[in-house]
Structure 1
Amino acid sequence: MLRFLPLKLGRLYRCLKLLLLVGLFVILLMNTHNLFASFQKNELTDRRFINLNKCPACFGTSWCRKFMNGQVSFETWGRLRFLDVFNVKNVYFAQYGEPREGTRRVVLKRLGSNQELAEIDQKICKRATGRPRCDLIQAMYKTEFARINGDVRLLTPEVVEGWSDLVHCPSQRLLDRVVRRYAETKDSGSFLLKNLKDTERMQLLMTLAFNPEPLVLQSFPSDEGWPFAKYLGACGRVVAVNYVGEELWSFYNAPWEKRVDLARQLMDIAEQLTNNDFEFALYLLDVSFDNFAVGPRDGKVIVVDAENVLVADKRLIKQNKPENYDVWYESRFEECDREACLSFSKDSLCSRVTVDHNYYAVCQNLLSRYATWRGTTGGLLHDPPAHIAKDGQLEALLDECTKPKKRYGRFQAAKELREYLTQLAAASSSATAR
């Protein structure tokens, strides 16, 4: 009897699949009129759809003219609202057109699920009135977002510390950088709060507390070489960023040479964010295949989800000299039954000068045999060619980078792994050129 079990399960799966298809077809029939309307109407010109009516409890208004003029429009599937049930993260692909530049692809983000956005409204109302529902605009003027007014010269660490990962341990130098580079104001370039309008100040602070990704992209812009997607602008509760390319996961089974090049770039990103001339350490607290994308032309790897980035000011750490500040911090490997999980101490990341977290995160969650994602294991560097597997050096370096056996072993392994991947990439390029 047991031998028939797989057959029955197979039939059940096919039946469920058929029912799902039938259900979708029925939904399409019932919404035929709405479907035609969806293709004809550009919802991105609707103030309520993009939550422009909720400002200043929003992320900005710098791109509102473009939205209202119809320069931004959803791509085909993005126009079908009944598909939103599958789009939990509220991320959409759209087309943006400029008369002189033509049309290009952009990514639109609401920076949270519908539930998370509803919760932020409730929090604002409760802080202002003690009730979960209220006039949101009036309530904003009774919150801490409004109390930090133009009479306050600087945005200071004690005011915003702990609001989000970006400011878990902020320095004055970091906050001045955030305010000075704030793109949702016409008078950017000054770190003085008085140069921001009341509404702009509230928008900045709400973004900082709810989802600071736009501020990370603005403070550490791609134009200066930082490995993040380019921030374009916002209107209401929709922000626009440059479309980078396909997500890293699409290259999981790419040719070996391509995967080696991508792995090398990922280790370079880990190094750049850890050690740079600005002495800001940017630690990636959420590392998965979905959070990186690859450019279609240049093949460059870019971070496309920067919500969970902790920024530590190494200059401040050296100046304040907290306990053990000059002792190298090693992230501890831990077995986990979930995908893309990491073990770290935010307080330790904030109080040490030398930290291996980014190397650990990239090696464990993306490159090594410990990496698990969407039911697969083996990481981006799975199934190496026979001669590389036989040599054993790659596997040894990945293991030491993920689960070090020696004290401070990850630091050395990460350095050697970058060099080794660079050699492999160069060898592949030479072989292709012949």
Structure 2
Amino acid sequence: MGPAATEDVDMSWAEKEKCPVCFGDTCELLRRGNFTTVRPESGRSWRKGIVSTGKIGDVQVIAKTLSDAEAWRRYEKFICRSSPHPKECNPSSFILNTLLVTDVALKIPFLRGSWTISRAEKSALPLCLSARFLREVKKLFVGKETTEMTNGDVIRRAFLTTSLLINEEAVLLRYFTKKSPTPWPFPKFYGACGRVIVVEHAGRTLDTFIDSPWKVRADIAVQLLQLVDTLRQMDPDWILFSLDVTFQNFAVDSRGRVRLIDFDDVLVIDRQTVVNHHEQKETCNEPCYMDFQKKLFFSDQYHCEDILKYTPMMYANVCARILSDLQKHPEWRKWGQIREYIDGQNVKWAPTDRGLLHDAPDEIRGPLEGALEQCVEETHPGGRLNAVLKLQKVLRMTF
């Protein structure tokens, strides 16, 4: 697409004029990507989700919003509250005169206490956030620390603070697909223009594979369990703990790879700040997991040092809510979910009474169902992790 043609591209849906109260200003991505499939709604009525699709090189990409209009209104209201003329305040310029571009806003106490600025409930990321991870993210967004900040430095701080307070997905994807050497199973982050981010198109969500042949579903199931392995074990510095496991939070790309695509309830755990449990000494099932989440979200204390012993509950969530036959186990539909809500246009609960592994071949049905039950409700310490290994072994025999 040549320079002359780009002038005719309608990019009003990105709301780039809102910067620096936005996720970023790499708007050349939208011109280069030839985004054409724009959602029919207009302006601020948009909710979280895909706005437009395009292509960068040979890669199909999407532009997506991360928050609804109400979150942005609350954020802008907070910015203008300290303005000499609140009713005439332009938040996109006044943010540069607020504490949101100072070091105060990029400290853990502020981030933990500021969720009410744009949200109705606590966000997951700041709960167990380490100072080391925050320094890494700040380095990525802001660059080298200096006592004499340029206007560009201040604007980049505004991008970072906005991303942390509105929706952390922009921060997590930018860091883990650009900076981290670990090959995380996430769509690549390309940039942000105004109030949309541009990421790799991760493919079809898991609910669209419910009626696929058994071999396809079995392969996806094995990859899901391996994805949890990656979140828990792959990186020497960080563990990612996804608290929200649903069909719509994962997708399968054009190469058949399973990807995590929703980061609303993802904790980043610093290995240097937690106790490493080498041996599980007691079982932990749904009551234990729910109690942990209550402490995490509804307590003023931060229960993070011991968090590693709860990360295997990601396997339980996958087994209960995605893999198992929900006709046989309807009580597992919302297993382990303490924050029961429907987010924007995405129904959070399973769209079917069948799990991904419904109608298993006769020769593996018994061992498969036994392993799934032990994955969800372990009967002895270590039972869940052993069940996951057995599940992968049994499933691999069928494809």
| TM-score, scaled relative to structure 2 | 0.76
Is the counterpart of residue 311 in structure 1 residue 260 in structure 2? Answer: no
Deviation at 1:82, TM superposition (A): 6.8
**Contact 1:342 / 1:361 at 8 angstroms: preserved in 2?**
no
Unaligned stretches of 5+ residues in structure 2: 1-6, 116-122, 297-301, 327-331, 334-348
Deviation at 1:167, TM superposition (A): 2.3
Where does 1:255-404 land on structure 2 (aligned, <5 Å)? 255-296=213-254, 298-318=255-275, 332-333=285-286, 344-345=293-294, 346=296, 347-348=302-303, 351-355=306-310, 356-370=312-326, 372=333, 373-389=349-365, 392-404=366-378
Is the counterpart of residue 143 in structure 1 residue 98 in structure 2? Answer: yes
Residues in 1 aligned to 2:136 and 2:284: alpha-carbon distance in whole angstroms = 28
Partner of 1:43: 10
**Contact 2:204 / 2:251 at 8 angstroms: preserved in 1?**
yes
Partner of 2:387: 413
SS where residue 23 of structure 2 aligns?
coil
Residues in 1 aligned to 2:263 and 2:44: alpha-carbon distance in whole angstroms = 23
SS where residue 305 of structure 1 aligns?
coil
With over 3 angstroms needed to count, the CA separation of the structure-2 counterparts of 1:326 and 1:261, relative to structure 1, is closer
- The worse-fitting range, judged by mean Cα deviation, of 120-129 and 299-308 is 120-129
Residues in 1 aligned to 2:148 and 2:325: alpha-carbon distance in whole angstroms = 52
**Contact 1:282 / 1:309 at 8 angstroms: preserved in 2?**
yes
Partner of 2:21: 57
Is the counterpart of residue 74 in structure 1 residue 21 in structure 2? Answer: no
Partner of 1:218: 174
Among 95, 99, 108, the residue aligned to 1:157: 108
Deviation at 1:279, TM superposition (A): 3.8
Deviation at 1:292, TM superposition (A): 0.9
Residues in 2 aligned to 1:301 and 1:273: alpha-carbon distance in whole angstroms = 13
* Letter of the 1:52 counterpart: K
Residues in 2 aligned to 1:405 and 1:169: alpha-carbon distance in whole angstroms = 29
| Identity of matched residues, % | 27
**Contact 1:274 / 1:358 at 8 angstroms: preserved in 2?**
no
Residues in 1 aligned to 2:315 and 2:27: alpha-carbon distance in whole angstroms = 40
Partner of 2:138: 179
**Contact 1:125 / 1:134 at 8 angstroms: preserved in 2?**
yes
Partner of 1:107: 62
Is the counterpart of residue 229 in structure 1 residue 187 in structure 2? Answer: yes
SS where residue 221 of structure 1 aligns?
helix
Deviation at 1:209, TM superposition (A): 1.4
Residues in 2 aligned to 1:132 and 1:404: alpha-carbon distance in whole angstroms = 58
Residues in 2 aligned to 1:250 and 1:212: alpha-carbon distance in whole angstroms = 27
With over 3 angstroms needed to count, the CA separation of the structure-2 counterparts of 1:70 and 1:416, relative to structure 1, is closer
**Contact 2:23 / 2:194 at 8 angstroms: preserved in 1?**
yes
Rg comparison, structure with higher value = 1
Residues in 2 aligned to 1:317 and 1:271: alpha-carbon distance in whole angstroms = 18
Residues in 1 aligned to 2:373 and 2:361: alpha-carbon distance in whole angstroms = 18
Partner of 1:5: none
Partner of 1:17: none
**Contact 1:92 / 1:108 at 8 angstroms: preserved in 2?**
yes
Residues in 2 aligned to 1:83 and 1:139: alpha-carbon distance in whole angstroms = 22
Residues in 1 aligned to 2:228 and 2:27: alpha-carbon distance in whole angstroms = 35
Deviation at 1:293, TM superposition (A): 0.9
Deviation at 1:93, TM superposition (A): 3.4
Deviation at 1:275, TM superposition (A): 1.7
Deviation at 1:116, TM superposition (A): 2.5
Unaligned stretches of 5+ residues in structure 1: 1-39, 335-340, 429-434
Deviation at 1:94, TM superposition (A): 1.4
SS where residue 398 of structure 1 aligns?
helix
Deviation at 1:70, TM superposition (A): 6.4
With over 3 angstroms needed to count, the CA separation of the structure-2 counterparts of 1:90 and 1:258, relative to structure 1, is closer
Cα displacement string for residues 312-348 of structure 1 (whole angstroms, at most 9, x for unaligned residues): 1122124xx9xx99876865326xxxxxx99835354
Partner of 1:20: none
**Contact 2:202 / 2:252 at 8 angstroms: preserved in 1?**
yes
**Contact 1:331 / 1:360 at 8 angstroms: preserved in 2?**
no
With over 3 angstroms needed to count, the CA separation of the structure-2 counterparts of 1:311 and 1:143, relative to structure 1, is same
Partner of 2:343: none
With over 3 angstroms needed to count, the CA separation of the structure-2 counterparts of 1:288 and 1:72, relative to structure 1, is same
Residues in 2 aligned to 1:207 and 1:329: alpha-carbon distance in whole angstroms = 39
| TM-score, scaled relative to structure 1 | 0.71
